[in-house]
Amino acid sequence: MRFDIITIFPRMFDSIFSAGVVKKAVEKGIIEIKIHDLRDFTTDKHRQVDDRPYGGLEGMVLKPEPIFRAVEEIRQPVESLTCLLSPQGKTFNSALAEKLAGYQQVILICGRYEGVDERVIEHLVDEEISIGDYVLTGGELAAAVVVDAVSRFVPGVVGKEESVRHDSFTEGLLDFPQYTRPRDFRGYRVPSVLFSGDHKKIARWRLKKALEKTLVRRPDLLKTRKLSSEEEELLIEIQKERKES
């Protein structure tokens, strides 16, 4: 899979992908990341990528010509998707990350200043993506987040692909608690069920804890989730315990 990132600050990516899982995936040739300086696609001697907005507002807007030129030159003859990182976009989540991982090429345009010329959004971009309800100084950090999250769904990137399926949000729930050695740390003990050897009991405990954490921290996720009979039973049990405590 190939990621192409279009930015006016290419040096911001010098270290982001230089370590960890993404770096290993690049070294193995599983994914490819190309950083493109938007100014390389200008035609004037000043390499201008922005201009004042019509209507007299403050700030600057990224011009359409270099962005169109960049995407048209970068886009490969494969299944490709062009995305703009902006606060006005669709909220990025696990489902969208998995969807993007199905493409052979994802082009990420990093927004800046007051935004980009609307014609880019209307006639060039396939998806407008936001990583949250807040404003960054630019789309570079958001692009890095998208690359990292999407890469985990690309086969071969994560050593144990089964672990991706159990991540928070992948199954519509927050993750269950995880423990490692020692069993007893300063009197804080690992739940005994995890040493029972009863895999069904452990699976039920994990599901219950995931449901409980989701109920407390992200109840909105449960409103859109189709619950199994076991999950409904566990939720009743959790709510009863919370009332009694």
Residues known to be catalytic: 87, 114, 152, 167
CA 228/CA 230 separation, integer angstroms: 5
Amino acid occupying residue 193: V
Strands (E), 142-193: 184-185, 188-189
Q: Tell me the three state secondary structure of residue 138.
A: strand
> What is the largest distance, in Å, between two alpha-carbon atoms of the chain?
72
CA 17/CA 144 separation, integer angstroms: 8
CA 233/CA 45 separation, integer angstroms: 68
- H-helix or E-strand containing 66? helix 64-74
Name the nearest CA neighbour of 121 among 92, 86, 95.
Answer: 86
